[in-house]
Structure 1
Amino acid sequence: MMRIFEMLVALLIVFALAVLVGLVLPDHGHIERRVEVPSPARQVYDTINGFRRFPQYTGLRAFDPAMQTTLGGPEAGVGSKISWTSSVPKVGDGSLTITKSTQDSDVTMTLDNDWIGTNKTYNLTITPSPKGRTVYVTESYDVDYGWNLLWRFGGLYINGDPSAVVQGSLASLAAMMAGFPNTDYSNQDISVVEITAKPVLLVNTRAPRSLDEVADATAQAKEKIEAVLKKTGLTQSGPMLTITTEWGDENYTFAVAIPVDQTSFTLDGHSFTIDAPAPKADADDDSADAGQPLVAGDRDKKGLLVVDDNVRAALWYQGLALYTEYTGSAAQLPLVRLNHKAYAETHGYRYSEAGLGRPWDEDVSDPGAADDQRTFRVYLPITR
């Protein structure tokens, strides 16, 4: 009997000590990690201010590469949400919701999962590094334990799974962003617009990367299209398009296109219908099919309708596109296009730059505008 009493007293003492220790343990948990990213602040902010890229960089993937995610709320900013499900206990089911964001500065998210504690939040801050060409991304995790002593003891292990997720997320974020075009698009107005398909006549061409050479090639292609307009009775129905195929180190490969007012026309007594291209399986470039005697009505490798000489016809792109109206020298258009690609990457939009996914711009300059005061509408086809 005495031994039992002694055991009970010992257990009571241990319990009392545990309670005393629990009472002095912190009622709040905090961890913080930092990574240096060689990207502009706006790129980092746009990447973390929404969840379209989250599945690619979250540290939860290290525990369950097969976790399933669902997006909710607006695409970016306050209210944007992602939920996930997983059969792996370390991941489980949960969600993140953005509750605060300050452009190019910080983003705060609330966490809802089965980790211990309440008021669980992530805060990511962006600060310029002393080098000036990189930024620091700091991610912190905060949680309240209140008077729940078991949670306070559990908080001793905050450097376990929570820390691993934060560290893994930051490392993956930096690695992912290293593959984005390193360009600052913060001063470029970029929006997502819906494009309606339109029939065009086009000529594929190439020129050395100089404004004069490109202008000469454009003029020659335009002359060929205008000759076909006269033969077919079609009428130009909008500004000329320059469709980019490849901006190479030395040469610029592109197509000059003119939209027309009808999807059908007659040439040499034959009727033709302009429709979307149907590329052949062996299509490998945008040049004319060398050595093949193509005639009006045939399809080239890219599925474009052959009209006359090097002139092709197609129903050009329908769907979403990134859009910018730019005024300045045409020499800056490659940078505008590159900014579109970077924007697409940070926002999780897909783009292909092949077929109808190729970027294009429209010259809507006033007649007689100076070379450095021309106005262009620049587009990059995307899918969400």
Structure 2
Amino acid sequence: MTRFIEFLISLLIVVVVFVVIGLFLPAKRMYSYSIETNRPMSTVNDLFNGFSRFRDWNPLLRYDPRAKYEISGPAEGPGAKFSYQSRDKVIGNGSWEIVESIPGEKIKYKLTGPASGKDKSMTIRLTRTGQGNKNVKITQEYRVNYGWDIIGRYAGLYVNRNIGDDVKRGLDKFSGLLATIPRFDYSQHPGTFEIIQMPTQDILLVSTASKRNNEDIMSAMENQVSWINKVMEANGLVANGPLRIVTTEFTSDSYAFDVVQPVRRATDAEGVAAGAKMSLRLEGPVSYDQIPARRVAKTSYTGPSPGLARVRDLLRAWAMTHGADTHDRPYEEYMGGVSTMLDEDAHFNVYWPLK
């Protein structure tokens, strides 16, 4: 009996010491880690400001690749939410929700999950740095409040390892993700970017190439347009949209491309998706094809056509940043035709097909 009482007293002393020490441990903990990148601020900000590429950099689901997840709310900014469910006790059920977003400064996430503590948050702070402020310093900051949770306060002793390792791993993966995205600052482009669905379309096309100078390019385009117009007239076809130029290869001294004209029967309604493939009488270099319905990234551009090469790069960078994988060849609609392509007020719609 005496030994049992001694055991209880010893146990009580241990508990009291445990509690007393716990009361003197910090109720709040913070961990931060930083990296630096030479990628544009717009790319860095947009990757963090939504969840379309979240799984490509955040190590959250690495413990359980079979975990279920759902993205809800707006595509970006406050209210965007990534929820997950896992049978793995390390992950459990939880969410990341954007609660504050200041472009080019910070994105704050509210965190829920099985980890100890309340008021858990992860904040991404962005700071311009380097020569000419062309680089971006990325700081990921974790904060938690354990309150009077003694067990939680002890858990806070291991924040640097339990949370810190994942933060470091995540930012390292984020740096790798940035390296896959073209280095173009699309935030300076005056046109809007969007992803749309294109219907099935019948087209006439001619593949050609020319030296990379404006006069030769325009001449090559006009020659092929003449062939396409001849085939359209012979088959009772009319244009079903603006003329397109599809880029095949763009080098320092040459430009290979397709001249494409969407077409329809003169008796068919304009803008309606194509039906069965047409049987046409073709002439010269003109061929016929039917393009199936597909998703494309789209923007617009006003200015002379030599500026289109950069706009294509901007569109691709934007699409990849927002979770879309580009596919096939980019193309432009010449809204004023070939004759106006070098004018300062020439207008183009620029597209890049997506997987």
Contact in 2 for aligned 1:45/1:103 (Cα 8 Å): yes
Q: Output the amino acid matched with 1:117.
A: G
Distance 1:170 1:276 in 2: 50
Q: Which position in structure 2 is the counterpart of 1:282? A: none
Q: Which position in structure 2 is the counterpart of 1:167? A: 168
Q: CA deviation at 1:212?
A: 2.4
Q: Which position in structure 1 is the counterpart of 2:48? A: 48
Q: Output the amino acid matched with 1:346.
A: T
Q: CA deviation at 1:309?
A: 2.2
Q: 2:233 aligns with which of 227, 230, 234?
A: 230
Distance 1:41 1:317 in 2: 36
Contact in 2 for aligned 1:276/1:314 (Cα 8 Å): no
Q: Which position in structure 1 is the counterpart of 2:271? A: none
Q: 1:369 to 1:169 in 2, by over 3 A?
A: closer
Taking structure 1 as the reference length, the TM-score comes to 0.82
Q: Which position in structure 1 is the counterpart of 2:108? A: 108
Q: CA deviation at 1:192?
A: 2.5
Q: CA deviation at 1:8?
A: 3.7
Distance 1:167 1:249 in 2: 41
Distance 1:179 1:333 in 2: 22
Question: Residue by residue, what CA displacement relative to the aligned partner does 1:135-178 show, whole Å, maximum 9, x if unpaired?
Answer: 11111111110111111111111112211111111110111111
Question: Residue by residue, what CA displacement relative to the aligned partner does 1:68-95 show, whole Å, maximum 9, x if unpaired?
Answer: 4322222222221222333443333322
> Which one is further off, 76-85 or 42-51?
76-85
Q: Which position in structure 1 is the counterpart of 2:194? A: 191
Q: Which position in structure 1 is the counterpart of 2:351? A: 379
Contact in 1 for aligned 2:304/2:341 (Cα 8 Å): no
Matched, 1:221 2:224: yes
Matched, 1:155 2:156: yes
Q: Which position in structure 2 is the counterpart of 1:285? A: none
Q: 1:370 to 1:43 in 2, by over 3 A?
A: same
Q: 1:339 to 1:276 in 2, by over 3 A?
A: farther
Contact in 2 for aligned 1:193/1:321 (Cα 8 Å): yes
Q: Which position in structure 2 is the counterpart of 1:258? A: 261
> Which one is further off, 89-98 or 51-60?
89-98
Q: Output the amino acid matched with 2:332.
A: D
Q: Output the amino acid matched with 2:86.
A: S
Matched, 1:176 2:194: no
DSSP 3-state at the match of 1:365: coil
Q: 1:359 aligns with which of 305, 330, 353?
A: 330
Q: Which position in structure 1 is the counterpart of 2:309? A: 334
> Which one is further off, 60-69 or 30-39?
60-69
Q: 1:307 aligns with which of 282, 285, 290?
A: 282
Matched, 1:244 2:224: no
Contact in 1 for aligned 2:236/2:265 (Cα 8 Å): no
Q: CA deviation at 1:5?
A: 4.4
Q: 1:350 aligns with which of 325, 328, 331?
A: 325
Contact in 1 for aligned 2:231/2:281 (Cα 8 Å): no
- Listed as ranges, the matches of 1:285-300 within 5 Å are none
Q: CA deviation at 1:27?
A: 0.9
Distance 2:184 2:63 in 1: 33
Aligned length in residues: 346
Matched, 1:74 2:77: no
Q: Which position in structure 2 is the counterpart of 1:85? A: 85
Contact in 1 for aligned 2:203/2:289 (Cα 8 Å): yes
Alignment root-mean-square deviation, CA: 2.6
Contact in 2 for aligned 1:59/1:167 (Cα 8 Å): no
Matched, 1:207 2:200: no
Question: Residue by residue, what CA displacement relative to the aligned partner does 1:102-146 show, whole Å, maximum 9, x if unpaired?
Answer: 222221111111111111111112111223332111111111101
Contact in 2 for aligned 1:61/1:67 (Cα 8 Å): yes
Q: 1:276 to 1:376 in 2, by over 3 A?
A: farther
Distance 2:212 2:235 in 1: 33
Q: Output the amino acid matched with 1:148.
A: D
Distance 1:276 1:102 in 2: 50
> Which one is further off, 46-55 or 315-324?
315-324
Q: CA deviation at 1:232?
A: 1.8
After the TM superposition, list the runs of 4 or more consecutive aligned residues in structure 1 that deviate by more than 6 angstroms: 274-277
Q: Which position in structure 1 is the counterpart of 2:11? A: 11
Contact in 2 for aligned 1:199/1:262 (Cα 8 Å): no
Contact in 2 for aligned 1:31/1:159 (Cα 8 Å): yes
DSSP 3-state at the match of 1:307: coil
Contact in 1 for aligned 2:234/2:281 (Cα 8 Å): no
Q: What percent identity do the matched residue pairs reach?
A: 30
> Which one is further off, 16-25 or 78-87?
78-87
Contact in 1 for aligned 2:101/2:107 (Cα 8 Å): yes
Q: Output the amino acid matched with 2:289.
A: A
Distance 2:53 2:257 in 1: 31
Distance 2:304 2:5 in 1: 92
Q: CA deviation at 1:319?
A: 3.5
DSSP 3-state at the match of 2:258: strand
Q: Which position in structure 1 is the counterpart of 2:26? A: 26
- Listed as ranges, the matches of 1:111-150 within 5 Å are 111-131=111-131, 132-150=133-151
Distance 2:350 2:108 in 1: 34
Question: Residue by residue, what CA displacement relative to the aligned partner does 1:252-300 show, whole Å, maximum 9, x if unpaired?
Answer: 22111123232899xxxxxxxx7689xxxxxxxxxxxxxxxxxx96xxx
DSSP 3-state at the match of 1:164: helix
Distance 2:254 2:130 in 1: 38
